[in-house]
Amino acid sequence: MRQSQAFLHTLRDDPSDAEVVSHRLLARAGFIQKLAAGVYSYAPAMTRVLQRVSQIVREEMNRAGAQEVLLPILQPKEIWEESGRWERYQKGGQLFSLTDHKGAEMCLVPTAEEAVTTLVKRSIASYRQLPVNLYQIHTKFRDEIRPRFGLMRGREFIMKDAYSFDADEAGLRESYAKMRVAYQRIFERCGLKFTIVQADAGAIGGSTTEEFMVNADTGEDTILVCDGCNYAANVEKAESKLPAGETGGEPKPMHLEATPGDKSCEQLSKRFSLAVSRMIKTVLFRAVYAEREETVAVLMRGDLDVNEVKVANALGALAVDLADDVRVRAATGAEPGFAGPVGIKPGVKVLGDLSIQGMTNFLCGANKTDYHLLDVNFGRDVAMPEVRDLRKSKGGEGCPKCASGKLGETRGIEVGHIFQLGTKYSKAMSALFADDQQVQKPFVMGCYGIGVSRVAAAAVEQNHDKDGIVWPAPIAPWQVHVICVNPEDASQREAAERCERELEAAGFDVLHDDRVKVSPGVKFKDADLVGLPVRVVAGRDAKDGVVELKVRRTGAMAKVKLDAVTAEVKARLGA
RNA sequence: CGGGGCGUGGCUCAGCUUGGCUAGAGCGCAGCGUUCGGGACGCUGAGGUCGGAGGUUCAAAUCCUCUCGCCCCGACCA
């Protein structure tokens, strides 16, 4: 490709609205352009990257036995009501819905369980036709509460979604295992460093589920990884050994103490010279269910934090969020900051974290403004609530799986997510097949997503330097950047053209900067920004049949005879 | 949803407080010339309903109201 002809327009300045590196560099290098919040146009260079990622995805999905389809992204409300997701997703405010000219409601879909289940149930009637795994690479829509970080959290994005249908759980586990392997191969082939973590199923549903996280400090997800074994989990899901707290000793009489203005454990710790782990904080939530809401009080040892996802799962709620002041006052009869289990209003559901077991003589809120209770004891002063693991694990805590490992806390970008769905959708949508006894059974499903556009952004997050992008070779828009320093010099022009011709003949995608009257500095700066893995510079040595070869990532530079260019480029690309 | 900020050529921004001549700069773009290995220089030039609507005024980019869009922060761990 001749750069003089290419639709590739770099920007001299950083776009003012770009916050994260990938957004800034992709916009500046002319790969993407914003059209609306969370909605981007992909220029040719970006399209090439997406095609490369897609091609890798396609090859590995096909290798794993999946078959490609294209499902509608504009879908009728009916099938979403069948699965029960219409109301839930609309309530969550993340579903783009619209009304057609005759008043029928439709939506732009975030995932395609309904459509694929419909497709399969009308086609497959027998266990003998199973298993099947169908996938597509298609645009998806989510009306994000707050789109941000460029391609990282867009409202429109490209996703590969796959759906497996098996006759039983064992088949599902097999399909899932195949996908897991395929995903590992995909991200390895994309040249990304990633971690597989246990995850929470969230709105999609299902049991076993793992996420593929690209390691990046700017990631939106926090992950905990054991340094001693292979345990790794998203913080939403992570467990850990309970850190030791101070013991309270033999029960003493409970007493009420004035604590004007002390709303935090730290303030109380100071006032009473009491370890924070001797306190129980009572965190009030609003739990939302399909048909109702309730107030829930979670009792947590003072030095630990509540994991809201675990609370929602323990309750079977659609969502939980922190109670607002009105709800807090209704539940406690006091201003926020003084909630406690003793004397909390009836109707408030109380749940305890495992950490409160065995605590004695603890401090907690008195449900009375400016008062706390000291030396409170379960059984005597207040009933022991049902306890569950509701704690948010943190880096530095002990691994839940092995004896001596410690959890490290890092961040990641979720680029893939695989689920063992089970029969949630097939049951709801009456997607049935006959088994060998002619018994009608629901398909056992799995679903598997990869954020294709997010993979490209994550690759930039993970691979860049101060000068620009450093594309991993397998997903670079072109592998080689031939730069003709001065095309008006015949020897330079001929050398560059020869390199382009021979490299393309050898199967490489080449971008040839043949622009006339563009200064060398501009060409080099642009090349750094665009970030192709190998650069071939035809410059002042061209008259002697010599060009320079430079590796973008390392900066390593070598002078190479024209005859050897193809071989040398091959060596550097590992091809 | 709450709070804050911003909308002025393709991009980055100044001008607005205190209303007043043909609305500015840099970059980019076009032409000419000089340059030619890390975002060169000179000259000439094109390009703007100042987000939109309404209002105040002799006069509005500037003041007021409404509206649309975009960005950031937050959603209170008691």
Say what the ipTM of the complex is: 0.92
Is residue A114 located within the same domain as residue A175?
A: yes
Residue A3 lies inside a defined structural domain of this protein: no
Q: Which nt is closest to the CA of A262, judged by C1'?
A: B78
A443 and A321 in a common domain: no
Domain presence at residue A511? yes
Give chain A's end-to-end CA distance (angstroms, integer).
20
Count of CA atoms in the C-beta half-sphere (13 A) of A72: 13
The HSE-up count of residue A292 (CA atoms within 13 Å, CB side) is: 5
In a domain, A393, yes or no: no
Of the candidates A454, A466, A471, A458, which has an alpha carbon nearest to the alpha carbon of residue A509? A471
Give strand letter and number of the nucleotide nearest A339 (CA to C1'): B78
Residues A455, A93, A198, A459: what is their CA dihedral angle, to the nearest 10 degrees?
10
Which amino acid type is present at position A533?
P
The whole-angstrom separation of Cα A531 and Cα A476 is 8
A216 and A90 fall within a common domain: yes
Same domain, A450 and A310: no
Q: Looking at the structure, do residues A75 and A193 belong to the same domain, yes or no? A: yes
Over chain A, what is the mean pLDDT? 92
Residue A6 placed within a domain? no
Q: Is residue A248 part of a domain?
A: no
Tens-digit pLDDT profile for residues A418-437 = 999 999 999 999 999 999 99
Cβ partners under 8 Å of residue A16, min gap 6: none
Q: What is the pLDDT of residues A141-170, one digit of tens each?
A: 998 888 888 899 899 999 999 999 999 999
Q: How many CA atoms does the CB half-sphere of A574 hold within 13 Å?
A: 6
CA of A5 to C1' of B27 (A): 22
CATH number for the domain that contains residue A59 = 3.30.930.10
| Residue-number span of the structural domain to which A351 is assigned | 255-388
Residues A433 and A372 in one domain: no
Burial class of residue A285 (count of CB atoms within 10 Å of its CB; 0-12, 13-18, 19+): buried
What local confidence, expressed as pLDDT, does residue A402 receive? 92
The amino acid that residue A392 corresponds to is K
Q: Which nucleotides of B are covered by protein (CB under 7 A)?
A: 1, 10-13, 26-28, 35-40, 69-78
| Same domain, yes or no: A76 and A200 | yes
A99 with A170, same domain: the answer is yes
**A485 and A416 assigned to the same domain:** no
- Residues A287 and A434 grouped into a single domain: no
Establish if A343 belongs to a structural domain: yes
Residues A266 and A298 in one domain: yes
Taking the CA of residue A292 and the C1' sugar atom of nucleotide B78, their distance in angstroms comes to: 25
In a domain, A246, yes or no: no
Q: Which nucleotide is nearest to A300 (CA to C1')?
A: B77
**Residue A403 covered by a domain:** no
Angstrom distance, A15 CA to B57 C1': 38
**Number of separate domains in chain A:** 3
Q: Which nucleotide is nearest to A11 (CA to C1')?
A: B11
- Contacts of residue A100, defined as CB under 8 A and 6 or more positions apart, other chains included, come to A106
Mean pLDDT, range A27-35, rounded to an integer? 94
The CATH number of residue A523's host domain is 3.40.50.800
**CATH, residue A315:** 3.90.960.10
**From the CA of A532, how many Å to the C1' of B73?**
36
Question: Domain check: are A146 and A227 in the same one?
Answer: yes
Residues composing chain A = 575
Helix and strand numbers (H, E) in chain A are 14, 31
How long is the CA A518 to C1' B40 vector, in angstroms?
A: 10
In percent, the amount of chain A with pLDDT more than 90 equals 75
Q: How far is the CA of A24 from the C1' of B25 (A)?
A: 24
Nucleotide nearest to A529 (CA to C1'): B39
Percentage of chain A modeled with pLDDT above 70? 99
For residues A292 and A313, is the Cβ–Cβ distance under 8 A?
no
